[in-house]
């Protein structure tokens, strides 16, 4: 895979209050190690060389634990002293990226996909932005992604859904394209980039059936604790 990645790990984790209070959400223990470790192991498997951690809330806990490296992965940090939004965090992290494209992962979700295949498919279509999708059944926590082939047609708001595709929280992004299309330093990646540019058909989407978990609510944090150590 591309040798560089950005992980978004700066959220407040407000829906986990009372369950995870004194540490950032990505540092919640899953088994005997922080959730963020599983993302690093995924990137290590695909020979990632450098990770930019976009951190904010209680960032000291992340920095103290991981330091400057994990296995053979070099770690650098960009610290949000004021919230930048998801888009601003990615843009801020991209300043430390030296390659023309890079991977982005959400620090509170794990999606077990072949990152090499994902990057290859994005490169074949010469797409400046690609999203990994997961097909889910009986859900209401996520918005639905509507596609035609590998092109996104629309994003639907969160609602009860029997079956549909959701955004799996992993992206391949062109650094130059992101910089030229960002509306400023603080913005929502979902609203100001994804939803804004689907009409230009530059955003591609690829479905994967790997294991997916989002630890954003207590029930799924508990499910991750029961499932992830045994799966990986």
| Residue showing tokens 């960002």 | 182
How would you classify the pairing of strands 69-70 and 73-79? antiparallel
Alpha helices by DSSP H, listed for the chain, are 35-45, 59-66, 85-94, 115-124, 175-181, 189, 195-197, 218-231
Choose the weakest-confidence range: 39-53, 59-73, 96-110, 200-214: 200-214
Residue 14 has pLDDT above 80, yes or no: no
How would you classify the pairing of strands 4-9 and 50-55? parallel
pLDDT single digits (tens) 149-186: 888 989 988 878 888 999 999 999 999 999 999 999 99
pLDDT of residue 99: 93
Cα 166–chain centre separation: 13
The more confident residue out of 145 and 162 is 145
Residue 2 has pLDDT above 80, yes or no: no
pLDDT category, 124, cuts 50, 70, 90?
confident
Residue 20 has pLDDT above 80, yes or no: no
Choose the weakest-confidence range: 11-25, 111-125, 146-160: 11-25
Nearest of 43, 48, 173 to residue 100 by alpha carbon: 173
Residue 19 has pLDDT above 70, yes or no: no
Q: Which domains does the chain have, with CATH numbers?
A: 4-231 (3.90.550.10)
Whether the CB-CB separation of 215 and 221 falls below 8 Å is answered with: yes
pLDDT of residue 13: 55
The more confident residue out of 89 and 15 is 89
pLDDT single digits (tens) 42-95: 999 999 999 999 999 889 999 999 999 999 999 999 999 999 999 999 999 999
Residue 18 has pLDDT above 60, yes or no: no
Whether the CB-CB separation of 74 and 144 falls below 8 Å is answered with: no
pLDDT of residue 3: 85
pLDDT category, 116, cuts 50, 70, 90?
very high
The mean pLDDT value of the chain amounts to: 91
């Amino acid at each position: 895979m591309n040798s560089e990645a950005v992980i978004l790990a700066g959220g407040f984790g407000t829906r986990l209050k009372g369950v995870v209070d004194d540490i950032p959400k990505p540092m919640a223990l899953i088994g005997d190690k922080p959730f963020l470790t599983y993302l690093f192991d995924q990137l290590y498997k695909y020979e990632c060389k450098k990770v930019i951690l976009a951190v904010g809330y209680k960032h000291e806990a992340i920095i103290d634990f991981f330091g400057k490296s994990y296995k053979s992965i070099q770690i650098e940090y960009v610290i949000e002293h004021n919230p930048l939004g998801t888009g601003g965090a990615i843009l801020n992290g991209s300043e430390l990226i030296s390659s023309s494209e890079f991977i982005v992962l959400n620090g509170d979700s794990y999606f077990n996909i072949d990152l090499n295949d994902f990057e290859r498919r994005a490169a074949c279509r010469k797409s400046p932005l690609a999203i990994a999708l997961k097909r889910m059944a009986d859900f209401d926590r996520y918005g639905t992604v509507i596609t035609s082939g590998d092109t996104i047609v629309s994003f639907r708001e969160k609602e009860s859904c029997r079956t549909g595709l959701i955004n799996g929280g992993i992206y391949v992004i062109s650094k130059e394209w992101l910089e030229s299309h960002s509306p400023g330093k603080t913005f929502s990646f979902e609203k100001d980039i994804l939803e804004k540019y689907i009409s230009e058909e530059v955003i591609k989407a690829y479905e994967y059936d790997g294991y997916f978990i989002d630890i954003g609510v207590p029930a799924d944090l508990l499910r991750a604790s029961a499932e992830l150590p045994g799966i990986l």
